[in-house]
Amino acid sequence: MKAVIQRVSYASVTVDNKTISSIENGLLVLLGIAENDTKEDIEWLSKKILNLRIFNDENEIMNKSLIEVDGDLIIVSQFTLIASTKKGNRPSYIKAAKPEIATPIYEQFILHTEKALGKKVGTGIFGADMKIKLLNDGPVTIIIDTKNKS
């Protein structure tokens, strides 16, 4: 599982010209699901994202987590994060989980994260053509791959 985590002042997801999720202070997470991702990946990555100390404290030092600032969260599936670009110029998505595997993992990730955060999170629509707007705050952008935990 790979995640691109962006600290945002604003983010929204639009499908067919209809805004389906929007937040102000919080995180926008683009989530790529690989064919070999497991429940352990869900639990580890969710905990890591919610506890990343990337929000400013009273001294303007990144020392607080999303939980501590009571921030909001949008999680959007993005299979292209699993792309391999080793050969040629056309990315290969062969290691990305197929929808019948990725959809339940995405839904489990959302539920697990909501439970840990204690509130609903915004989402995209799995497999839809989405338009994402964001105002990256900082900018702060972190990339995490559950296959590189150490």
Q: Report, as residue numbers or ranges, the catalytic residues.
A: 80
CB 13 within 8 A of CB 22: yes
Dihedral sign, CA of 122, 130, 55, 46? positive
The widest CA-to-CA distance across the chain, in whole angstroms, is 48
CA 2 to chain CA mean position, Å: 8
Tokens of 32: 């790529």
Residue type, 129: D
The DSSP element (H or E) to which 63 belongs, if any, is strand 62-64
